[in-house]
Structures are given as C-alpha cells and as structure tokens.
Amino acid sequence: MVRLAVLLILAASLAACDAFSTLTDGWQFAKAVETDLEAATGAKPEVGFNWRNGRLETVTVTFPRINETKPLPVLAEAVRHAVTARFKQTPDNIVLAFSLGKSGSSKMARLADID
C-alpha cells in the first residue's frame, strides 16, 4: 500500500513538472514571437497559445491595431514564419487578430460613409 502511494505521488510530480515546463517554455516562445513581429511590423502583438496533451493546438497573435503599411497576406506570412520558427511544434491553427479600439473609430466610419 505504501509502495502504491509513493508511485502515485511520483507520477503526479512528474506530470506537474511537464506541465510547468510546457507553460514556461511556451511563454518564452510567445515572447520571442512578439519580439520578432515587433521588429518586422513596428507594432508589438500579444501572443497566446494552447497546448493539449503535449500538442500545440492554437497560437493566437493579436495586434493592437490594424497594420496599414503591410498587405494582409504579407503580414499573415510573417506571423506564420515567426510562430513556426520559435515554437518547437507547428500549431494546428494560427489565429491572427486585430484590436479595433473604441467603437465608432472616425477613420473607419468615414470610409463606410463614402461607399
């Protein structure tokens, strides 16, 4: 009985270490992606990630505003390259997002009024 308890404690400890290392490594990878994309675009994004059972499922890259200096396909390729270069696994999905700020942004409202 004591032997079983020791084995269970050891197994739980090893599982916790793996989860902790995944979290810390993922955080370092996300910071590296943020740094790479800030150098490439001039805007620092926020990078989040989701690992499940040792597999990288999703990486989300959110920029603080829409990048008007680069076409979307060019920006998407820069994000894809940074994510796959820095994370040790290719994620199942990469989500690229932009914050629109306060609702009723004047520049976007003027463009809508022109059409």
Q: How many residues does the chain have?
A: 115
pLDDT of residue 48: 95
Burial degree of 100 (CB within 10 A; 0-12, 13-18, 19+):
exposed
**pLDDT value at 5 more than 80:** no
Complete domains list, the chain, with CATH: 2-101 (3.30.70.1350)
pLDDT of residue 40: 92
Residue range 28-66, pLDDT digits in tens = 999 999 999 999 999 999 999 998 888 899 999 999 999
Sheet of 46-52: strand order equals 46-52, 55-63, 93-98
Average pLDDT (69-78) is: 93
